[in-house]
Structure 1
Amino acid sequence: MNVAAVLVVYTTVVGFAAPRLILRARWPHRAPALAAAVWQALAVSFSIGIALFAHHLAMPTEHLHAGLVGLLHSCGFDVEVGRPDPGLTDPLAVGVPAAVAIALAASFTFQVMRARRARAAHREALDLVGRHSARLSATVLPYDLPAAYCLPGRRPRVVVSDAAVRALTPEQLGAVLEHEQAHIAGRHHLVLASVEAFHSVFRRLPLARHAREQTALLLEMIADDRALRHHSDEVLATAMYEMAAARPPAGALAAGGHTVLIRLQRVLGPREAPHPALWSSVAAVAVAVPLLPLLVACPPGLG
């Protein structure tokens, strides 16, 4: 089996089979940060695999080493393995993989800028109708439903409705605010932008669809876990239930929303950390997966 065929098999496994295995597993909700990293690693690995597959199709008779050296030289980098034959830097061999990278980078930039514009417009509206609460370190917004969300980015802001301030106890409100601060501190908006970008480029791919859906859920669980460090399960669960009907504006991350039922079951149910052996094994896979396409296309010892 040649390298191109192996890469086809590999990307098929990563893009179609791997998501099913993760969705059937129980450990992702027990270790949401690790699970989110695995989804990111799979997306990176699939992208590299597709780019290398395109590169190999354009240069079927040349080893990947030569093509990569040619790519580096075409970008102005000097390498010590010798300047490649100009024929190795076939425009198609460089252009197609580069197009994949450019599409992903452009889509990520678009997602980030679009969300930034939406948050900027929403901040202007908040300045007009909201009031800053020094006690809560948040903006209080007149709204009939209990709600809380954050506007991440360069000028982060936590927003809570006055209905939430009235309906929640101080402990519940504190848990909600800590949940939102976790989104800001973790820069979760950038993680969401990356999976949105991957989905926009590979829209029909199961990996892209599930990575976007599951990452959004896992990030909420990560924020829940931070709130649970200083607040009880019942306090957070009650606050989440009160705000289940609220929907965040574009570009924001919220404690409520359509994932509340799944998160409530997790918060109120038994939560056990994954076994250290499982945790370390999955972490090792997350680190190694992005490198596997390179090992497939360029096995050690070949030159």
Structure 2
Amino acid sequence: MITAVTLTGYASLVGAVAPYLLVRARWPHQAPTVAVLAWLGLMVTFVVSATLALNHLVLAERQHVHSGLLGLLSACGVVIDARAGDMTPAFSDFTALLGPAAIVLLPLGWLLHTARRSRRARQRQLDMLALVGSPAAEYDATIVEHDVPAVYCLPGRACRVVVTRGALDLLSGPQLRAVLAHERGHIEGRHHLLLMVTEAFGRAFPGLPLARHAKEQTELLLEMAADDHALRFHPREELATAMCEVASGRVPRAAMGAGGPGTLIRLRRVLNPRARPRRVTWVAVVATSVTAPLLPLLFTCGHVV
């Protein structure tokens, strides 16, 4: 019971307290890629700790330790071991696993659903672009005859960068190249996959502070990461001006637009850069993000074995 209570407290800390601390921290906007890893680490940690906590609550009296790998997993509360003298688990043992299994399978199921829905939406957009879009080799993009300035990308295997006629008429050459580099940063970083993970986690655990903040912050941080990709090759003023010009343009649901969320926050960040966190800071964040999901399992095994 002590193990279950400890794991429940750890899951509550990760799911309800840690998100607010990470949102209020200053360093994530200076190291957006590392910050996204931190959010992913929190989500994985919550799933692991909540699964083990529920597992120990419902199976506390069903665990019998044997030797070998099965015995280790049984002692750690990961699997059901057989009762003494009976190597066949009872039906009630399997039904007791439904709760812990649901915590793992629910976000995975939503992830598959989100991936299928996003793929269908992107395919519809690609089919439409085949009818109304014109390829522009000089920009490595597709031009759409639309007066509202917008630049966005359709990620995935058949990735495409789309520019409206309004954006072409409004942006200068350097500004257009800067915003195109932003979109290619999304594609090269496969940012759409990370967005699908946060969306699936949010649908699996609605109302959880971690789910809400992880989705909002990851969207903003990925836009910042794409900004950083563009700033490797283009001046800050060109990117900032292009962001302002296309900020009002609406993009398809399956796309990632150059305006994106938090445009004002990103503009201040682009025009007033701050020093990146010291190496010891992001090394500590990476190490914590990787080890945090392992702590519940290590605690369980160390407490029982």
TM-score, normalised via structure 2 length: 0.91
Matched letter for residue 265 of structure 1:
R
Deviations 1:92-135 (A, max 9, x none): 34322222222111100111111111111111111111100011
Matched letter for residue 30 of structure 2:
R
Q: How does 1:1-303 map to 2 (within 5 A)?
A: 2-61=2-61, 62=63, 65-66=73-74, 67-70=77-80, 86=89, 90-299=93-302, 302-303=304-305
Contact 2:220–2:261 (Cα < 8 Å) also in 1? no
- Aligned twin of 1:78: none
Deviations 1:166-201 (A, max 9, x none): 111111111111111111111111100000000001
2: CA distance, partners of 1:241 / 1:260: 8
Task: Give the secondary-structure state (helix, strand or coil) at the position aligned to 1:139.
Answer: strand
Task: Give the secondary-structure state (helix, strand or coil) at the position aligned to 1:246.
Answer: coil
Matched letter for residue 213 of structure 1:
E
1: CA distance, partners of 2:33 / 2:162: 25
Contact 1:7–1:49 (Cα < 8 Å) also in 2? yes
Contact 1:55–1:97 (Cα < 8 Å) also in 2? yes
TM-score, normalised via structure 1 length: 0.91
Task: Give the secondary-structure state (helix, strand or coil) at the position aligned to 2:293.
Answer: helix
How many residues are matched?
292
Structure 1 residue 86 displacement after superposition: 2.9
Q: Which runs of 5+ in 1 are unaligned?
A: 74-82
- Cα distance change of structure 1 residues 131 and 174 upon mapping to structure 2, 3 Å threshold: same
Contact 1:247–1:257 (Cα < 8 Å) also in 2? no
Identical aligned residues as a percent:
47
Contact 2:219–2:261 (Cα < 8 Å) also in 1? no
Contact 1:140–1:160 (Cα < 8 Å) also in 2? yes
2: CA distance, partners of 1:158 / 1:95: 44
Structure 1 residue 281 displacement after superposition: 1.0
2: CA distance, partners of 1:84 / 1:234: 70
Contact 1:244–1:258 (Cα < 8 Å) also in 2? no
2: CA distance, partners of 1:121 / 1:37: 31
Contact 1:45–1:289 (Cα < 8 Å) also in 2? yes
2: CA distance, partners of 1:17 / 1:100: 20
Contact 2:39–2:214 (Cα < 8 Å) also in 1? yes
Structure 1 residue 84 displacement after superposition: 6.4
Q: Which runs of 5+ in 2 are unaligned?
A: 66-71
Contact 2:142–2:162 (Cα < 8 Å) also in 1? yes
Task: Give the secondary-structure state (helix, strand or coil) at the position aligned to 1:270.
Answer: coil
Deviations 1:232-290 (A, max 9, x none): 11010000000110122111111113421110010011321101111111111111111
